[in-house]
C-alpha cells in the first residue's frame, strides 16, 4: 500500500474537481487487492462535471448501513477522490478578536448526501487510514497558507491517540508538513476521543507527542471534561492547549454549577500554563460568558461556521 504520508512522495496536491478544495485522486499507488474495488468506487462515486452541487440530491448516496460497512478501500478512495475533504473553522483571540487559528474538520459528500464526521471518522481510525487523511489535510493547509500569505495563525488537526501512538508517526508527520510547505510550529494536534490504550501505546504516544512538541507543534487536549479526556492525561502528555468540551459551556448558560465547572477547568488549565479554547460559542451571550470564564480563544457558530476552502476569508 502506498502512503504518501510515510513515503514522503506526497505532492502539494493539485486542485481536484471538488469545490471544497480537496485534492484530486490519482490512479497510482493502489497496487493492492483494493484496486478492483476502487475501480467500482470510481464509477459509483465520481462526481459528474460540475461537482457535487450538480448532483441530484435525491440520487442515492451512502446510507447508514453502507457507512457502517465501509472498507479500507472505500475510505482510501473517498479521500483520494476528494469526497472526504476539509472544512476550516476560525478560532479568534478572546482579547483582540483576530483570527489566530483554523480547525480543520472532515466532511464527506457523496452524491448529494453529506455525512457527519462522527459517522465515518471512527472507521478511518480503525482501518488505519488516518495518516492518509492527515496528509491530504496538511496539503489543504498548505494551500490556505499560499492563498492567504498574510495569515500567520495556526492550523489545528484532529487525531485519534491510537494513530498518534503508531511507530513512524513523527517522521511521517514531519515529512508530510515539509512536503506541503507547512512549518510544523504552525500545527496544533488536537487529541480527540481518549479511547483506552495499552500501556505500551501510552508510552509511545508520550514519546511521539514529546518529539513533535520539541519541534514546536502545539499538542491540544480536545473535549476536556468529557469521557476519557481526563485529568490523568493532562498530567501525562505534553499538552500546551486545552479545549473545554462545548457541552460544559452550553450547560454553563443556565446552571451555576456548570459555570463553576467550566471556570474551574479554565483555572486548572491556566495553573498548568496551558492555553484555553472555548468551543461551541453560538451566540453573543456565549462570547461574553466564555470570555468572563477565562477562555483565551473562542470558536463556534457565533464567530464562523466551518467553511470550505473556496469560501474561506482571512
User: Residues 251, 265: contact at Cβ < 8 Å?
Assistant: no
User: Residues 108, 83: contact at Cβ < 8 Å?
Assistant: yes
Least CB distance from residue 84 to ligand C2E, whole Å? 9
Q: Which residues from 204-223 bind ligand C2E, rule CB under 6 A?
A: 222-223
Phi and psi based region of residue 298 (left: phi greater than 0; alpha: psi -120 to 50; beta: remaining) = beta
Cell matching residue 108: 464527506
Cα torsion at 94, 141, 77, 222 (round to 10°)?
-30
- By CB under 6 A, is residue 158 in contact with ligand C2E? yes
Least CB distance from residue 88 to Ca ion, whole Å? 12
Query: Contacting Ca ion (CB under 5 A), which of 190, 193, 286, 296?
Result: 190
User: Residues 231, 262: contact at Cβ < 8 Å?
Assistant: no
User: Residues 101, 153: contact at Cβ < 8 Å?
Assistant: yes
- Decide whether 89 or 271 has the Cβ nearer to ligand C2E: 89
Least CB distance from residue 277 to ligand C2E, whole Å? 10
- Decide whether 125 or 158 has the Cβ nearer to Ca ion: 158
- By CB under 5 A, is residue 193 in contact with Ca ion? no
- By CB under 5 A, is residue 158 in contact with Ca ion? yes
- By CB under 5 A, is residue 222 in contact with Ca ion? yes
Spatial separation of the C-alpha atoms in residues 276 and 240, rounded to whole Å: 9
For 94, half-sphere exposure in the C-beta direction (CA atoms, 13 angstrom radius) is 22
- By CB under 6 A, is residue 135 in contact with ligand C2E? no
Least CB distance from residue 45 to Ca ion, whole Å? 27
- Residues that bind ligand C2E in the complex, under the rule CB under 6 A: 89, 105-106, 116-118, 121, 133, 158-160, 192, 222-223, 246, 279-282, 300-301, 306
Provide the binding-site residues for Ca ion, judged by CB under 5 A: 158, 190, 222-223
Amino acid at each position: 500500500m502506498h502512503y504518501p504520508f510515510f513515503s514522503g512522495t506526497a505532492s502539494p496536491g493539485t486542485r481536484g474537481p471538488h469545490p471544497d478544495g480537496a485534492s484530486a485522486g490519482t490512479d497510482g499507488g493502489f497496487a493492492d487487492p483494493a484496486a478492483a474495488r476502487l475501480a467500482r468506487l470510481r464509477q459509483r462515486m465520481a462526481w459528474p462535471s460540475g461537482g457535487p452541487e450538480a448532483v441530484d440530491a435525491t440520487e442515492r448516496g451512502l446510507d447508514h448501513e453502507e457507512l457502517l460497512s465501509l472498507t479500507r478501500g472505500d475510505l482510501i478512495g473517498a479521500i483520494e477522490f476528494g469526497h472526504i475533504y476539509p472544512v476550516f473553522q476560525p478560532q479568534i483571540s478572546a482579547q483582540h478578536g483576530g483570527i489566530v487559528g483554523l480547525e480543520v474538520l472532515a466532511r464527506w459528500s457523496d452524491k448529494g448526501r453529506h455525512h457527519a464526521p462522527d459517522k465515518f471518522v471512527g472507521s478511518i481510525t480503525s482501518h488505519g487510514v488516518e495518516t492518509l487523511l492527515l496528509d491530504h489535510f496538511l496539503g489543504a493547509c498548505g494551500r490556505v497558507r499560499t492563498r492567504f500569505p498574510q495569515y500567520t495563525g495556526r492550523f489545528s488537526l484532529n487525531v485519534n491517540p491510537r494513530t498518534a501512538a503508531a511507530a513512524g508517526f513523527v517522521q511521517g508527520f514531519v515529512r508530510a508538513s515539509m512536503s506541503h510547505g507547512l512549518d510544523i510550529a504552525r500545527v496544533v494536534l488536537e487529541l480527540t476521543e481518549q479511547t483506552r490504550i495499552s500501556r505500551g501505546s501510552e508510552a509511545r504516544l508520550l514519546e511521539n507527542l514529546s518529539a513533535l512538541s520539541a519541534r514546536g507543534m502545539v499538542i491540544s487536549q480536545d473535549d476536556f471534561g468529557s469521557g476519557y479526556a481526563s485529568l490523568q492525561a493532562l498530567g501525562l502528555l505534553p499538552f500546551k492547549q486545552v479545549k473545554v468540551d462545548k457541552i460544559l459551556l452550553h450547560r454553563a448558560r443556565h446552571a451555576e454549577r456548570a459555570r463553576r465547572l467550566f471556570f474551574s477547568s479554565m483555572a486548572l488549565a491556566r495553573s498548568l500554563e496551558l492555553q484555553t479554547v472555548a468551543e461551541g460559542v453560538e451566540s453573543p451571550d456565549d462570547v461574553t460568558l466564555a470570555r468572563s470564564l477565562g477562555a483565551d480563544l473562542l470558536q463556534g457558530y457565533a464567530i464562523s461556521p466551518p467553511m470550505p476552502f473556496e469560501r474561506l476569508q482571512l
